[in-house]
């Protein structure tokens, strides 16, 4: 093959070396606009996983790299001078300049032609003269821009400002240094890369950046290689205590805004994207160099394995794109966390540290416990102490008691409301008794009914239950009595009205498909259907609103008589109250439309009516959609104000869901994908008011639940489909964590089943295969102390016991 590589960074050079190693007959040419000794940045970090791939692909490159590595296992987190440490991570870093030198020497040895200080020829000409053209020309790729119609790039410029420095202070571990200054929160991402220096990245929100005066040089154009010396002076002043008298080093250092690069396609004909030209991931979780070298390895392998360039490039995209997209999802969560870091300024230090470490949702409590059990125990104990009376420091967070308003709950697990479409004339039957009763017996602290409709016209389907008559009340009383008599859990009632999403078929007959027979009129704030083919609602009059308010009031009264412990007003998922809140479905021009204040007016009337119909000590909560997942819909910032309004009207908890206001929504699904919305609402409005926040949405493991709670992202977690898979999920989670206590009491009839059944391997007793017992060496904490050998103690160094940002394990 004749291969042209545009860009002589680590990704392009590594690909060139691998292709020549696979077949010396390949003619590989690299064009690099910079001189061979030009490099921007300081250190690069690799995970053990990536290094394993490099070692197996080219032992010469790996061997040269290994001799340059700084290695450590700790991460230190310092918050305004208060520090903590977590170990057991595993990092290797080296100078970017040394890495380039190694790769340059290797390609020269293998016979690759590299044109330094030379712009690449016209890409169309390269395409004609070569079998393959590789665009490895970085974030601002000219090749990608030229063929943008084919690649479909999207560039997402983020809100934080950052600047890449070095320092002659040699850190002993990964460093997160957080300073809450008079201007706002600023942070340092730092790590050692040699015995002479460390990378030192300063980051802050643009608003903080401006308040601190860093925008003084905003309009100044710095030539290539020239750094912002004013920024150096200000950073040295602000972080003087953390620098311990050491210098800040510069290398083309100037303020930047991180841009996330994505491409719909990574190849076009015989042109392919590699590294930052194809994708970027925020530096807080991934190294662009690491990703580029992984790309190179995959591309070389695919070219070697497939008979044509077309099939090889398609295989490369299919193999690498899902991996990169997974990394980008984690990186997106991480960068958004750092954009909002000021929100956590008043968190307990231990909670803050754990929050930071688990920010991407890739790292969890169990991960950290495996790596550093002492740190995990400290975090769990700190959470228990915050809970106060009744807490058990040995208990997992999910089994700590809590309360919603005056209602005490034995644990923090809720059965999320889920429509079952199995009522007859609105009357719940034996199915509901078994469905809800089994979840209460299964250990959930609070079992929530599905949406119980306040009128026949407020049903979603013919199978939805209601509370508009006394027969329905009496049937619900049978369910609540069972829960109270046979479990230590509590049961809540969710009240709602379907609005424009009503009069549809049962879910298994066609979800959201309108009834064509025996249908009823649907209403909404405006005459806009939920989606194409759906019923067009009648715009509600004031008289309609009055009737709905009365229906909610009467249903709440019957709910009290039925024995429910809590009432939740359903103002999410595009049903009637949600459709008033959303500008997607509410285009009214009267006092109930337009501004958010106006759109809140009717839902708050309903909430007040429900609150007035129940005893003063019965908590009334609300479920909201935190975002509409629509360009012109509500956002997480609107959700904060919606939550604030309900809290001011007495809501005891905010149940944070999202979406379902339009069929055209584009949700960003993923594990615990709605939790960041709960997190924001909790810290901005709920926590200061002493109101509980409930996280919901793709939370499926006890590890996820504990991680969310310990990080302070929510007070309780609601799980739906997980409970459908396993009605005993809560008690099984206790057994898996070897926990027994008040928050995980088994029914006496089932007590014999509280231990996990043996498997085919549990009877194996392993033999002793070590001649000498471990003498007590602490392998959890390895610090980088060049010149002192491998010092594994963690009680010395510029930063005392610190914490971890395990997200960086994927660096």
CA–CA distance, 341 with 540 (Å, rounded to integer):
43
Cα 139 to the center of its chain, rounded Å: 24
Q: Which residues contact 494 (CB under 8 A, 6 or more apart)?
A: 417, 448, 449, 450, 451, 452, 567, 568, 569, 570, 623
User: Which residues partner with 657 through β-bridges?
Assistant: 625
| DSSP H stretches of helix in 156-246 | 206-211, 229-238, 240-243
Return the structure tokens found at 301: 């392998």
Pairing of strands 566-571, 620-625: parallel
**Rounded to whole angstroms, how far apart are CA atoms 243 and 537?**
64
Sign of CA dihedral 23, 27, 32, 35: positive
Half-sphere exposure for 367 (CA within 13 Å, toward CB): 18
Judge whether 566 and 651 are in contact, CB under 8 Å: no
CB-based contact 330:807 (threshold 8 Å):
yes
* 725 backbone dihedrals φ, ψ, rounded to 5°: -70, -40
Dist CA 508 CA 503 (whole Å): 15
CA torsion 599-569-402-485 (nearest 10°) is 180
Q: Which of 53, 3, 45, 9 is nearest to 24 (CA)?
A: 3
- Of 676, 405, 457, 458, the closest CA to residue 567 belongs to 405
Within 10 A of 244 (CB to CB), how many other CB atoms are there? Answer: 10
| Dihedrals phi, psi of 164, to nearest 5 degrees | -100, 115
Q: Which of 147, 162, 344, 575 is catalytic?
A: 575
CA dihedral 138, 143, 144, 146 (to 10 degrees): 140
What are the respective helix, strand and coil percentages of the chain, to the nearest 5?
Answer: 40, 20, 40
Asked whether 571 and 577 are in contact (CB, 8 A), the reply is yes
- 785: tokens are 């102390």
Burial (CB count <10 Å: 0-12, 13-18, 19+), residue 65: buried
Q: Where are the alpha helices (DSSP H) in 467-564?
A: 470-486, 507-510, 542-562
Say whether 673 is catalytic: no
| Contact (CB, 8 A) for 654 and 647 | yes
Radius of gyration over every alpha carbon of the chain, rounded to an integer in angstroms: 30
Say how many residues make up the chain.
811
Smallest Cα–Cα separation from 282: which of 160, 144, 138?
160
Closest to 19 measured CA to CA, from 318, 312, 290, 296: 296
| Torsions phi, psi for 5 (to 5 deg) | -115, 120
DSSP-derived 3-state class of residue 782: coil
Least Cα distance to 449 among 409, 479, 408 occurs for 479
Residue pair 455/546 in contact (Cβ under 8 Å)? The answer is no
Rounded distance between C-alpha atoms, residue 429 and residue 422, angstroms: 8
CA distance 558 to 459: 17
Q: How far apart are CA 574 and CA 532, in angstroms?
A: 15
Query: Which runs of consecutive H residues, i.e. helices, occur in 111-184?
Result: 123-129, 142-146, 148-151
Distance of alpha carbon 495 from alpha carbon 556, whole angstroms:
8
| Contact yes or no for 626/656 (Cβ under 8 A) | yes
User: Active-site residues: which are they?
Assistant: 575
């Amino acid at each position: 093959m004749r291969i042209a590589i545009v860009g002589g960074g680590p990704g392009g050079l590594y690909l060139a070396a691998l292709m020549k190693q696979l077949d010396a007959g390949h003619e590989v040419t690299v064009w690099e606009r910079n001189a061979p000794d030009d490099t921007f940045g300081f250190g690069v970090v690799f995970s053990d996983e990536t290094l394993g791939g490099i070692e197996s692909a080219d032992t010469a490159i790996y061997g040269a790299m290994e001799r340059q590595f700084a290695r450590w296992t700790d991460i230190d987190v310092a918050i305004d001078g208060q520090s903590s440490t977590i170990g057991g991570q595993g990092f290797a870093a080296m100078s970017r300049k040394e890495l380039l030198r190694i790769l340059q020497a290797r390609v020269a040895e293998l016979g690759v032609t590299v044109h330094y200080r030379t712009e690449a020829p016209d890409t169309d000409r390269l395409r004609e003269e070569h079998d393959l053209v590789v665009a490895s020309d970085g974030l601002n790729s000219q090749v990608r821009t030229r063929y943008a119609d084919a690649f479909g790039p999207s560039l997402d410029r983020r809100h934080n400002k950052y600047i890449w420095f070095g320092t002659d202070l040699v850190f002993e571990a990964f460093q997160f240094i957080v300073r809450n200054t008079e201007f706002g929160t600023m942070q340092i991402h730092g790590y050692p890369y040699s015995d002479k220096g460390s990378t030192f990245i300063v980051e802050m929100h643009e608003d903080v950046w401006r308040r601190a005066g860093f925008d003084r040089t905003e309009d100044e154009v710095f030539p290539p290689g020239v750094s912002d010396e004013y920024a150096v002076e200000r950073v040295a002043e602000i972080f003087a205590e953390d620098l311990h008298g050491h210098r800040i080093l510069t290398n083309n250092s100037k303020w930047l805004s991180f841009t996330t690069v994505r491409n719909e396609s990574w190849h076009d004909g015989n042109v392919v994207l590699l590294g930052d030209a194809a994708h970027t991931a925020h530096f807080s979780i991934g190294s662009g160099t690491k990703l580029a070298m992984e790309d190179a390895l995959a591309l070389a392998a695919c070219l070697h394995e497939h008979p044509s360039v077309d099939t090889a490039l398609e295989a490369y995209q299919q193999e690498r794109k899902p991996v990169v997209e997974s990394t980008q999802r984690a990186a997106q969560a991480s960068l958004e966390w750092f954009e909002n870091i000021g929100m956590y300024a008043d968190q307990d230090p231990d909670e803050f540290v754990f929050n930071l470490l688990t920010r991407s949702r890739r790292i969890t409590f169990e991960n950290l416990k495996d790596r550093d059990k002492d740190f995990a125990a400290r975090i769990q104990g700190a959470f228990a102490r915050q809970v106060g009376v009744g807490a058990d420091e040995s208990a997992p967070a999910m089994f700590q008691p809590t309360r919603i308003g005056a209602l005490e709950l034995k644990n923090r697990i809720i059965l999320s409301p889920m429509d079952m479409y199995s009522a007859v004339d609105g009357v719940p039957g034996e199915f509901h008794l078994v469905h809800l009763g089994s979840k209460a017996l299964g250990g959930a602290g609070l079992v929530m009914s599905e949406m119980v409709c306040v009128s026949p016209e407020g049903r979603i389907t013919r199978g939805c239950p209601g509370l508009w008559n006394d027969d329905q009340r009496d049937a619900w009383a049978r369910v609540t009595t069972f829960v109270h008599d046979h479990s230590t859990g509590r049961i809540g009632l969710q009240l709602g009205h379907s609005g424009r999403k009503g009069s549809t078929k049962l879910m298994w007959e066609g979800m959201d498909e309108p009834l064509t027979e025996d249908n009823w009129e649907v209403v909404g704030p405006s005459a806009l259907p939920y989606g194409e083919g759906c019923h067009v609602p009648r715009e509600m009059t004031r008289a309609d609103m009055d009737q709905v308010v009365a229906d909610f009031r009467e249903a709440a009264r019957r709910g009290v008589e039925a024995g429910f412990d809590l009432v939740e007003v359903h103002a999410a998922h595009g049903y009637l109250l949600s459709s008033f809140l959303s500008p997607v479905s509410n285009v009214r021009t009267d006092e109930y439309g337009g501004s958010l204040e106006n759109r809140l007016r009717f839902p708050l009337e309903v909430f007040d009516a429900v609150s007035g119909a129940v005893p003063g000590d019965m908590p009334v909560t609300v479920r909201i959609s935190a975002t509409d997942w629509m360009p012109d819909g509500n956002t997480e910032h609107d959700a904060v104000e919606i939550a604030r309004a309900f809290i001011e009207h007495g809501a005891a908890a905010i149940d944070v869901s999202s979406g379902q206001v339009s069929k055209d929504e584009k949700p960003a699904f993923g594990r615990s994908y709605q939790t960041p919305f709960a997190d924001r609402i909790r810290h901005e409005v709920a926590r200061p008011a002493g109101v509980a926040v409930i996280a919901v949405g793709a939370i499926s493991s006890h590890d996820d639940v504990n991680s969310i709670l310990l990080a302070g992202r929510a007070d309780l977690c609601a799980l739906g489909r997980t409970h459908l898979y396993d009605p005993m999920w809560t008690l099984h989670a206790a057994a898996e964590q070897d926990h027994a206590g008040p928050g995980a009491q088994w029914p006496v009839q089932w007590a014999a089943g509280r231990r996990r059944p043996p498997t085919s391997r549990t009877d194996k007793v392993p033999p002793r295969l070590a001649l000498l017992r471990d003498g007590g060496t602490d392998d959890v904490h390895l610090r980088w102390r060049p010149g002192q050998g491998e010092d594994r103690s963690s009680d010395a160094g510029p930063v005392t016991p610190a914490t971890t940002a395990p997200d960086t394990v994927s660096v």
